[in-house]
Amino acid sequence: MKPMFAAAPLALAACVAQAAPRPFEARDLVLLDRVSEPVLSPDGRSIAFQLRETDWAANKGKNSVWTVAAAGGKAQRLRDGATSPRWSPDGASVYFLAPKDDVSQLWRVPANGGEAEQVTRFALDVGSFRLAPDGKSVLFGVELFVDCTADADPLACTKRRLDKPADAKQTGKVFDRLFVRHWDTWADGRRSQLLVAAIGVDGQLGTPRVLSAGLDGDVPSKPFGDDSEYAFSADGKTVYFSVRTAGSGEAWSTNFDLWSVPADGSSKPLNLTADNPAGDGTPLPSRDGRTLYYLAMKRPGFEADRNAIMALDLASGQRREVAAGWDRSASGLKLSADGKTLYTASDDWGQHPLFAIDIASGKATRLVGEGSVIGFDAGAKSLVVARQDHRHPTDLYMTDLRGKGLRQVTRFNAERLKDLRFGDSEFFTFKGAGGATVQGYVVKPVGFKANQTYPVAFIIHGGPQGAMTNDFHYRWNPQTYAGRGFAVVTINFHGSTGYGQAFTDAISGDWGGKPLEDLKLGWEAALKKYKFLDRDRACALGASYGGYMVNWIAGNWNEPWKCLVNHDGVFDTRAMGYETEELWFTEWENGGTVFDAPAGYEKFNPLNHVKDWRVPMLVVQGEKDFRIPTTQGLATFTALQRRGIPSQLLVFPDENHWVLKPHNSVQWHDTVEAWLKRWTGQ
């Protein structure tokens, strides 16, 4: 294993800045600027967006808010340390979130640049926000103790509770229900609450009102909820939001409902989707106030069910599915200016395109097809998309409403990328389990020569309801392996998204069945089609479900592999059913609880096959990972050591299910690549 990367910033900069063409590597990956959250100005002439730059010395990302003309040109930095840009309705200002004395607050800055003005002066963090259509009030999320929502000043009440005496000696926490912890954070009794406040003539936010008071849930949801989970009606008089109010059953419930409440808080919230026991969310009111568009799942307890686009008639309560014949799962929604079209992005045969959905007919039209659209906004005459692919990190592009004339607007990483070389990628298909058509892709190593063979990194995606698509990933980027002389093969096995809901459903209850068969058949298909793949110098690696599959492969398909890499993977499915935080996941995937359906947990349990393990394995674990806890990684490494199998354990005390800190990311890549090279003789 290589020693931990500890180069000085200047040394790293010198390495990156060298002019001679060279292969792309992890050090380049962590330094790239990341563009996100594009928002068109009301007149469609400007784009506000967020940029994340890497502060290598501080070992963290540094966010800022920018604008750029939709026609192109030099981008303008509006504010450092800022996130979540949103235009004022008149287009004169950009609102954003930024810290003041380490507390996240709402700010406003002139769109053409100038001094930013602080809008909120709260003692607690503002987590997200949305402006009213007339720009005179703001919806925003703050974490409050539930019993403080009835207080005259719920924010001050919560702050008093949080401010413990400096000499307090007791540190114990008492819980009486789940969640006790979620993703990477222990619960402290607070809930994300939705508040509203008017913007005064002085530009400051007035006294807030809690709109979600009395609801035992988080608005927006934890851990990744945002302002897409709530919205003003077009006239600003009503607020719509989604929330899960499952009480003591929250850890095994996916039942989010849509609620409406007067924006002035004059009455209690009303549940609009109480009849659906599955997930409802992403409210999007029509401009005429008659319809509420939203996303809905049908099966309770299944987090990867298809997101159907629904239209609720607010007068009659009648609802219909907008695109029932479109067998894809929608993500965020945007409405066209004329109210006739909905825009959404979805996985689709290895790409993540933008689609236009005709509301009247339900017809889905693929607009921006190649690559992955990770963010977008719709104007009266054009669309802005944040797009990436295997060779290009995210930049902003403009296109017309039909997806024609795609034009690049920003080029943030052009200077860094101009002297870097990438491997060519190609999708392929084969007959998988049950004769189904299954897709995968191959990435050639940088400097590829047709008369040579190359060692292989066989990457297995997580989710498991996910996919390896044509994107520029910051954790599992195939180009970091191609840059080190490896070919990459990946298979979108049964359970992957973008191939229809039946294909996605196929993995549930069958984790080690059809997916493993697809991996086997895909590996053979790739070897047959691509003669440069060296069958005898290949390693399999993956994280989350991919880490589970590595453990399953270790005892059930270890013949082809010289080494394995398991990052945050499940070792004991039965223990996982008690240790993970989101119990709905394990209970759906295994057919019930551990005590009601033990056979489902044992059917494909890697721990039952440890006696057949023989391939060297690197185990990686984040200690703040509450999704697949540290005990699973420790058990894997213990099994390997007890069996006498060459193995290493890489533990990150400060990382969760992902590796986020720049230095840790480089160490992760160095350790993984060293492991692959050690066992493939690269």
The C-alpha atoms of residue 677 and residue 682 are separated, in whole angstroms, by 5
How far is Cα of residue 7 from the mean position of the Cα atoms in its chain? 30
Tell me, yes or no, if 625 is annotated catalytic.
Answer: yes
* CB-CB neighbours of 57 under 10 Å: 11
Which DSSP helix (H) or strand (E) runs through 285? Answer: strand 280-285
Cα–Cα distance list, 146 to 58, 143, 213, 266, 562 (Å): 36, 9, 8, 19, 54
Tell me, yes or no, if 544 is annotated catalytic.
Answer: yes
- In sequence order, which residues have a C-beta less than 8 Å from that of residue 343 and are 6 or more positions away? 333, 334, 335, 336, 354, 355, 356, 357, 367, 376, 378, 383
Contact (Cβ atoms closer than 8 angstroms) between residue 112 and residue 75: no
**Euclidean distance between the first and final Cα of the chain, in Å?**
13
Which DSSP helix (H) or strand (E) runs through 131? Answer: strand 128-131
Tokens 């609009």 identify what position? Answer: 272
How far is Cα of residue 449 from the mean position of the Cα atoms in its chain? 36
Which residue of the set 28, 518, 625, 670 is catalytic? 625
Contact (Cβ atoms closer than 8 angstroms) between residue 137 and residue 120: no
Residues in the chain, total = 682
Which residue of the set 41, 104, 372, 544 is catalytic? 544
Burial state string for 211-230 with b = 16 or more CB within 10 A and e = fewer than 16: bbbebebbbbbbeebbbbbb
- In sequence order, which residues have a C-beta less than 8 Å from that of residue 578 and are 6 or more positions away? 594
Which residue of the set 390, 473, 567, 657 is catalytic? 657
The C-alpha atoms of residue 461 and residue 249 are separated, in whole angstroms, by 30
The C-alpha atoms of residue 362 and residue 341 are separated, in whole angstroms, by 9
Q: What is the dihedral of CA 208, 209, 212, 216, to 10 degrees?
A: 80
Tell me, yes or no, if 508 is annotated catalytic.
Answer: no
Catalytically active residues, by annotation: 544, 625, 657
